[in-house]
Structure 1
C-alpha cells in the first residue's frame, strides 16, 4: 500500500459520508511518515479507518468498500471499519495525529509509537513484526513506547502484563536494554 491508495479509499469514503477527515489506525499508520516505511510495515491490504467526526459511519463505509466488496475485487484493497474505542491507546493519542492533507480529504494517521502500544496489546505475530521493523529502522522509539505505556489504560491486568512481557522480549531480541 502507499499514499495514493489511502487517498483513493478516502475519496471513495467521502462519496459515501460526505466527510473529509478520516482517522487511520493499524499497520498503515506507517504511511503517515515523511520517509518510506519498510515493506513489513505497510503490507496490509485493509485500511483500518473511521470518519473523525462521525466514527459510527465506519461500518457504512466498510459495507460498500470493505472486504468482499466489488471495490476490493477491482482494486485489491479495502476498508475495515475501525472505532476510536477499539484499540488500546495511551492518553493523548488524539493530539498526536500525523496529518496528510490530500486537498479534498485528510488522513489523520495514528502516531507510530501510539500504534505500537495498540499492537503490543493485540500481540499477533504480524503486529510484533511491524513493531520490530519499526524499532530496527528507528521509526519507533522504545523509550517513547515505555513512557506512553504508563499513560495507557488497559482492559485488565492480563493485557497490561502481556504488553510488558512483549516489550521485554523485543528489548532483549533487538538489544535495546540500554536505551533510555
Structure 2
C-alpha cells in the first residue's frame, strides 16, 4: 500500500460513514507518519486498512456499513486494497495513545476534507508486540532495523499498557529486551548511544524526522 491509497481509503470510509474523521488503527496507519518510500517494503505489504469510529459505540454499525468496501468487494477488486471496520478491543494500546494520533488529511474530488487519525508508530508497534504473532514481530523488527522505531521507547510504553495477560506481557518484555540488546550492539558499533527516554523528533506535521546515521571512521 502507498500513502495515496491510504488517503483514498480515508475518503471512502468517511463517505460511507458520513463522518469527517475516522481512526486508522491497523498496520497501514504507519503511512500516516512516513511515506512508502521511507519505509521497509515489508511493513506496507498488507492490502487491509483497519478503521474504527471515534466512538466505540458505533463500531458494530461501522463494520456492517464498511462491508461495501471490505475484502472481496467490488471496491477491493477495483483498487487492490480494502477497508475493515473494527472496534477498540482489536488492539491493545498504551495509555495516552489518543493524544498521539497523527492526522492525515484526505480531500475528496468535490473539495470535502476528511481526516484519518493514524496511530503513533510506537503505539502501533506496542500493539504488534503484544499480539506476538510472527508477522507482527517481523513488522516491528523491520522498523527497528531501519532506525525508525526505538525498542527502548516501546518498553516504556509497554509499562503503561493495560489489558495484557501475564503470558503476553512476559513474551512482549522478553522479545523487546532482546531487541534493545541487539540495537545497543548495533548502535555501539556506529556511534554514541541515545539517552534513556529518547524519542525521534517530529516535524510540524507531527511526522517523525529521519534518524541521522553516524558515518564510520576510516583509518587512512
Q: Same fold (TM over 0.5)?
A: yes
**Any gaps of 5 or more consecutive residues in structure 2?**
108-112, 186-192, 197-220
The answer to whether structure 1 residue 176 and structure 2 residue 178 are counterparts is no
For 1:76, the equivalent position in structure 2 comes to: 80
Does the CA contact (< 8 Å) of 1:61 and 1:79 recur in 2?
Answer: no
* Maintained 8 Å contact 1:17/1:57: no
Contact 2:8-2:106 within 8 A present in 1 as well: no
1:98 offset after TM fit, Å? Answer: 0.9
Greater gyration radius:
2
Match of 2:210 in 1: none
> What's the C-alpha RMSD, in Å, of the aligned pairs?
1.9
SS of structure 1 residue aligned to 2:162: coil
Displacement of 1:116: 0.8
Aligned to 1:149: 158
Q: Does the CA-based 8 Å contact 1:50-1:57 persist in structure 2?
A: no
Contact 1:51 1:57 in 2 (8 A): no
Work out the number of aligned pairs and report it: 179
Structure 1, residues 129-156: CA drift from partner, whole Å, max 9, x if none? 1111111122111121111111011331
Shift of 1:30: 1.4
What 5-or-longer segments of structure 1 have no aligned partner?
A: none
1: CA distance between counterparts of 2:14 and 2:104?
15
**What TM-score do you get using the length of structure 2 for normalisation?**
0.74
**TM-score between the two structures when normalised by the length of structure 1:** 0.90
Asked if the contact 1:23–1:50 (Cα under 8 Å) also holds between the matched residues in 2, the reply is yes
Closer/same/farther in 2, CA of residues 61 and 37 from structure 1, 3 Å limit: farther
Deviation (angstroms), 1:100: 1.2
Any idea what the Cα deviations from partners look like across 1:84-107, whole Å, max 9, x if unmatched? 222111100011001111242111
> What residue number does 1:37 align with?
39
Map 1:117-136 onto structure 2 (within 5 A): 117-136=126-145
Alpha-carbon contact 1:154-1:160 (below 8 Å) kept: no
Q: Quote the residue 2:3 is aligned against.
A: 3
Structure 1 residues 78-87 or 105-114, which shifts more? 78-87
- Quick one: which of 88, 91, 98 aligns to 1:94? 98
Q: Residue 50 of structure 2 contacts residue 86 of structure 2 at CA under 8 Å; is this kept in 1?
A: yes
